[in-house]
A and B are shown apart, each in its own frame.
Chain A
């Protein structure tokens, strides 16, 4: 199982690999960038990574496989950025 050092970077790299986002470099994904597309028009939406709900499910499976944490469906809406995913993993690891 993965350790928690440099967690944000590890999440980013694993996410890009799992979702086959080979055209995006890990260093271009900020830890506060929204992962999912939003219905709201505007700047924030343009800067999101553009993931969809099935990508969200892929992320949940990834978190389980890499860190052994099962994310219940109710918690999934809060995993909106790499930073929040990292915080969630740290919290559940305690």
Chain B
């Protein structure tokens, strides 16, 4: 192999993202559909690094930056160039980009079903990455069964009677787009349950733009008591970013109006895919997914999250890793 270089793409416009993802997409890779999905949905939060050998792209890293944390979703090296240190140089380039841009933590997401899972696990552990948590990622094709059909069955069998009970108790659902400033302010003030929940951050779009028409709240006595916050990364997908219940309403089922309203809106607005993810340590949410959301869920995969503190180097660093 000749001399190579890893460099960061400076992407500022969505058009460029699409062009870059096409370039990546042309490479033979099982993960390329995923690459295209990430590249088109990350928006300005995306960071893309590629490895070149004699001018040709031979690998890429697709990342997302949120505050001080960079998440590496995909690290790919084309066949014929593997086992030559390209992946290591790409990862170093990712870390260097953190030094330069001010992120402190690199998080790597490994799919438990990936063919090269054990290789990547060893690869990361050798480079001082530690397993931080395990995430279950659920999704469904909304129009199939289970999907919306399964959800309708659940609602007619059990959910609708529970919703009627809650309505009699003064609970109701409201789309985020219909919530006035007083409700939004109350939402920011409430201490919702959940690991790392930051409602204000969500509302301010720090985890990507929220879809106000599919995000819904449960309201009681004019105040929000539960929420289902979602975004729509493309024209057919909805991601449930966070679901939460105010501490005073734990174990009350108060989430049901919000989540059922969100799912119905997803269907009514024509979204055909729903995604949501839950950390393994969040036993109540996993239990809820198993007992209630299973009616809408068709598939599940496990994602292992590895992280490493890389530290921000205020003097910057060499911007792009080189390899030979």
Interface residue ranges, A against B (CB under 8 Å): 19, 36-39, 41, 45, 48, 50-58, 60-61, 72-74, 76-77, 79-80
Contact = CB atoms under 8 A, between A and B. Distances in A.
Nearest to A40: B283
Given A58-B162, A61-B165, A53 B283 contact: no
Nearest to B288: A52
A60 B283 CA distance: 21
A73 B281 CA distance: 26
A21 B50 CA distance: 52
B292 interface: yes
30 contacts: A38-B284, A39-B193, A39-B282, A39-B283, A41-B281, A45-B283, A50-B283, A50-B287, A51-B287, A52-B284, A53-B245, A53-B251, A53-B253, A54-B253, A54-B255, A54-B256, A54-B291, A54-B292, A56-B252, A57-B162, A57-B165, A58-B253, A60-B252, A61-B161, A61-B165, A73-B169, A73-B220, A73-B252, A77-B252, A79-B251
B254 interface: yes
A28 B162 CA distance: 28
Given A52-B287, A76-B250, A77-B248, 14 more contacts: A36-B284, A37-B284, A37-B287, A39-B195, A39-B284, A52-B284, A53-B245, A55-B291, A56-B250, A56-B253, A58-B162, A60-B252, A73-B252, A74-B248
B197 to A, nearest CB: 11
A41 B283 CA distance: 9
A47 to B, nearest CB: 12
B9 interface: no
A74 to B, nearest CB: 7
Interface of B: 158, 161-162, 165-166, 169, 171, 193, 195, 220, 245, 248-256, 281-284, 286-288, 290-292
B165 A37 contact: no
B284 A53 contact: yes
Given A52-B292, A57-B166, A73 B283 contact: no
Contacts of A61: 161-162, 165
Nearest to A78: B251
Contact of B254 (A36, A50, A53, A55): A53
A88 B255 CA distance: 24
Given A38-B284, A45-B283, A53 B195 contact: no
A41 B193 CA distance: 16
A54 B250 contact: no
A72 B169 CA distance: 8
A88 B265 CA distance: 38
Contacts of B290: 52
A57 B252 CA distance: 5
A52 B282 CA distance: 11
B250 A77 contact: yes
A12 B255 CA distance: 25
A53 B288 contact: yes
A54 B165 contact: no
B252 A53 contact: yes
A57 B286 contact: no
Nearest to A55: B291
Nearest to B283: A37
A80 B250 CA distance: 11
A73 B169 CA distance: 8
Contacts of A45: 283
Contact of B249 (A48, A54, A58, A73): A73
B283 A56 contact: no
B255 A53 contact: yes
A10 B86 CA distance: 65
Contact of A54 (B169, B220, B288): B288
A63 B225 CA distance: 23
Contacts of A58: 158, 162, 253
Nearest to A70: B169
A50 to B, nearest CB: 5
